[in-house]
Amino acid sequence: MKKNILFIGGSLNQTMQMHRISEHLKDYNLWFTPYYADGYIRFLTKLGILDFTVLGGEFKRKTLEYLESNNLQIDYEGKSRNYDLVFTCQDLIIPQNIRSSRVILVQEGMTDPENLWYKIVKNFKLPRWAASTSMTGLSDLYDIFCVASEGYRELFIKKGVKPEKIRVTGIPNFDNVRSIINSDFEHKNFVLVATSDMRETFKYENRKKFIRKAQKIADGRKLIFKLHPNENFKKREAEIKKYAPEALVYYGCPIEPLIANCDVLITRYSSVVYLALALGKEVYSDIETNILKSLMPIQNDGTSAKFIAEEGRKLLEFSKSKDSVKFYNPIWDLFKKKKLLGSRS
């Protein structure tokens, strides 16, 4: 009987990464779902309160649209069957119904900085989601964590992730920059600004100051803004036009062709900065360039998805659930044997 594998999406980038991994596991029963939670978080999601997150709103709508358009089997919230293996791009929330399955966590991209709020959440053991992606990997509720590079491996270990669980595989969507080098775009040699959804996720951002910074860096060169998919296009475009009427604004299109044809990329916290760095572009970010270079996802010509899938195959060769731990925990196995011997005396 074929084993069941569940892929949990989230943002469109996360969902696409899950799809690419699944393409190397077609000899199993494959199912997909948008990101989900249980308990009171699920209740808040149902009320629409969390529509600004990957749990609902546009993120969920686009994920479902992508799954349906690619004819992928959907098992909403993984309710319809038991799963031998689960792939997820985030462990800020690990639903109860997958905790008896083998789980592979896949790094999506850049993680939020370890600021004061991160330290408060970690030290006082508050819910991981309260510090957003800065807490990625710290649940320890997975078997393997596939990361982008040796630099990220070191970063996650410093945060407290167990080294034996980490695999440096590279991450899909950021491991093959050569594929976008010749991308066509209607403009050339411009300054590109990739905005963030900080305000949509209740973080502070002085957008006026950010726009002024971009104008100064552009210094008369063509200035193009690419809005984050989670932003309100009309509202943010009007804001940009107010302070930078000369700028062009794009929304709802892939950013890769824009990066391939720009001279400069300006952003705050965005994984797309790695694409620009790999292409040798001039980059401005809230994170120092030397730090970004040390974290750069490995470039392996798009084979990360295959490497991650192989990690899944290895897990499935051992057992189908965490209840069968004898291959992974000999101490527990010895304890069980002693218990059985004691019951016979």
Annotate 142-211 with DSSP letters as a single string. Answer: SSEEEES-HHHHHHHHHHT--GGGEEE---TTSS-GGGGTT---S--SEEEEE---TGGGT----HHHHH
Query: Do 4-175+298-330 and 177-295 show the same overall fold?
Result: yes
What are the sequence ranges of the domains in the chain? 4-175+298-330, 177-295
- List helix spans (H) across 176-319: 207-218, 233-243, 256-261, 272-278, 289-295, 304-318
Q: What's the CATH code, domain 4-175+298-330? A: 3.40.50
Res 268: pLDDT: 92
Average pLDDT, the chain: 91
- pLDDT beneath 70: ranges in the chain: 319-345
pLDDT digits (tens, 9 = 90+) for 167-186: 999 999 999 999 999 999 99
Q: What is the pLDDT of residues 78-104, one digit of tens each?
A: 999 999 999 999 999 999 999 999 999
For residue 327 the two structure tokens come to 């291959």
Second CATH level (architecture) for the domain 177-295: 3-Layer(aba) Sandwich (3.40)
